[in-house]
Amino acid sequence: MNTLRPSHTVGLSHQLAWAARTVEAVAKGRSLTDALPRVPPPLRPGVQALVFDALRHRGLTMTLVRGLTQRAPAPTVHALLCVALGLLLEDDASADRPSYAPHTVVDQAVVAVPLLKQPPPVAGFVNACLRRFQRDRVTRLTQARQTDVARWNHPAWWVQRLREDHPTHWQSILAANQRPAPMVLRVNRRLARRDDYLGRLRSEGLQAQAWGEDGVVLETPVAVERLPGWAQGEVSVQDGAAQLAAGLLLGDGPVPRRILDACAAPGGKTAHLLECCDAEVLALDKDPLRTERIRDNLRRLGLRAEVRAADAGAPDTWWDGRPFDAILLDAPCTASGIVRRHPDVRWLRRPEDVEQLAAQQRRLLEALWPLLAPGGRLLYCTCSVFQAEGERQVEAFLRRHPQARRLPAPGHLLPPADRLQEAPATGEAIGDNASRGTDGFFYALLHKPA
């Protein structure tokens, strides 16, 4: 996700109003993927910056609102206060965050009230709340941060689960989730050499460094249209953790003749497999609209695969009976490992979602294992840091299938992934942006004996 900033050419009050509407939509259960496109295009970059900042500090600002008000304000007003309070957290300022003078934030939040169709008295209420916070900010922040929700800006159940799953890393995971992720590219090795592409980026004034076999980490995120060769399919956006999938599945042996990408949308891993080898690839996704994204991505990259809309967990509806030499199962999950890029995820998920999604993952593993040819490999992965969707899921599978053999794979990658802060291909240390590590991921490679 690109780092975006509020526009100083568009009134902050209008951006605050739309940011409040968007944060309110998330509070009601709508994802940013659905809510942000509703923002008028000229306002969207600035509103996205405000919304990302507000959601990264939502636990603290919600706690502050409770302390600043005698009764809960209307949802729209509550959202506006949370967005504005987020901008007033000067002690949490960084180069990645929107920055405005406090008096500007207060003034523009008041101006935003009629834009949100709120009655005139609400403007005075918002003004009083924000000024009250400014007067007693140190005391109020100290009191608010006594709770896990406010201190870590994640739901309490999420914090507790991480404590249990990763007792020595939970704090660093939560802290990493508060920072924007770097923009990582994958160079299409069929069309360009990675080192040559790095040179082209630098000639365009874009500083970048190598990561892994095909990866490039940009020092500063940019719109994809600025990337040389984007339209010609020479490069894609894909986090470093996701780029590990192709190499793990293909390994160092003979190229699999037939590969299944079982939950393929939007097609990044499908494309990487096709960039790395000549194989017959079937890419499935349950959602017909998302399969169109696979086709669009492959078309831009000049790659071909069979793409079908189908439930991978119901092979009787799509499988032709021919076994696969390799299967990639990037299973549906909580997305708890990509919170840096999707700050709404932590507030949309519920505790019961973990077990419900783990049940889906178990169903997919059981449905796909019989489709794997003897001697074949199945790569199970999720963009999750929760053990129920990773290590415990695979341990349970191996108990049910004792003949399966587990091959070397990274297991849980936890942001910031210290073991991946160096470029594996070169061993050279990489820059500060890249040192933020990869997204949180889990990989297990399973072999079916011949």
Q: Please check whether residue 12 is in contact with residue 41, taking contact to mean a CB–CB distance below 8 angstroms.
A: no
Active site residues: 383
Q: What is the rounded CA–CA span in Å between residue 27 and residue 54?
A: 12
Annotate 385-414 with b (16+ C-beta within 10 A) or e (fewer): bbbbbbeebbeebeeeeeebeeeebbebbb
Enclosing H/E stretch for 135: helix 121-135
Q: Please check whether residue 175 is in contact with residue 159, taking contact to mean a CB–CB distance below 8 angstroms.
A: no
CA 210 from centroid of its chain's CA atoms: 21
Q: Where are the alpha helices (DSSP H) in 229-322?
A: 240-250, 268-276, 288-301
Give me 322's structure tokens: 């021919």
Strand ranges for 206-364 from DSSP E: 208-211, 215-218, 235-237, 258-261, 280-285, 306-309, 324-330
- Among 290, 244, 281, CA closest to 260: 281
* Residue 54: count of CB within 10 angstroms of its CB: 26
Peptide bond connecting 416 to the previous residue in cis, omega within 30 degrees of 0:
yes
What sign does the CA torsion over 157, 158, 164, 170 have?
Answer: negative
Strand ranges for 85-201 from DSSP E: 184-187
